[in-house]
Chain A
């Protein structure tokens, strides 16, 4: 159905965003469960999910806090994981940059993998959309995902205390991370970045203040960027 009004753009966004509740819901619930296991109460879990809205960054903060790292390392590691949203922000700016400031503030707050991926694809495919229609579509993609994100965080926090004690939950986090990162490894430079980061991460595991993680991340990023340059040079 073609988008003709702002309202139809919003509902098109809602429809396209609907399948992503299957991704956001379980991760939000897992965060609620693991955060509760780590000692956070329901109010803290909900504030965390409302303030940050980023699964990978929230899981990272949780893990690095449990490693007894200094607060600044916790914050830096989690923000580093979340750096990709800055890229999304840059990619959407040509399409949404002329919208009123208050709308851009809300759009920025709601910028996640799903809203970016759907909207960027739509804006590219349908260039004749007006800026208000684009904004309406964007907010539409966020609606259900956000309801499930907050709702399932609460459910996770509520059931977290009632789970059996002998579940191997210590390893839920590594499995969640690996499942998120595996589909992101699409090219050889991605693989090189990940491999270098793993090697440096293991070698630097005893570096104080969990700074090894920052070192490994930086090394991986540089390796990936270099590999991309080299490969491009070979196949012009």
Chain B
């Protein structure tokens, strides 16, 4: 993993950065409304960044960048159950059970 100095730079920057994100409007902007185009883009940050981060981890999940089907199937199970039930725990359960069954039972 990374060295200690880097880790502390990350922790401190994320702490300060997250606080500023949370405080900006509540603290500085007050009651003034935000431009609609900005809000429209902000609505899609999480649903864009998180899948972009996960996709390579799923597709290149095997050794040396190959595709490990057990992990792909676990990801598909997590996603389908999550979208179907809208329940975080059901999704995690489906993914974890699929992964365990495929890794240990087969």
Contacts and interface: CB of A to CB of B under 8 A. Distances in A.
Interface residues of B, number: 68
Interface in A149-173: 168, 171, 173
Contacts of A196: 48
Contacts of B106: none
A48 interface: yes
B69 interface: no
B14 to A, nearest CB: 5
A189 B86 CA distance: 17
B44 A57 contact: no
A216 B19 CA distance: 25
Given A89-B23, A174-B71, A193 B99 contact: no
A108 interface: yes
Nearest to B16: A51
Interface string A188-202: 011001111110111
Given A52-B18, A180-B50, A87 B31 contact: no
Contacts, number: 267
A219 B12 CA distance: 28
B44 to A, nearest CB: 3
A90 B1 CA distance: 36
A179 B78 contact: yes
A3 interface: no
Given A61-B10, A71-B9, A79-B14, A178 B82 contact: yes
A108 B100 CA distance: 40
B14 A75 contact: yes
A13 B37 CA distance: 33
Contact of B54 (A97, A178, A218): A178
Interface of A: 22-23, 26, 38-40, 44, 47-48, 51-54, 56-58, 60-61, 63-66, 68, 71, 74-75, 77-90, 92-94, 96-97, 101, 104-105, 107-109, 111, 168, 171, 173-185, 189-190, 193-198, 200-202, 205, 212-213, 216-225, 228-229
Interface of B: 1-2, 6-7, 9-15, 17-19, 21-27, 29-31, 34, 37, 39-61, 71, 74-75, 78-79, 81-83, 86-89, 91-92, 95-96, 99-100, 103
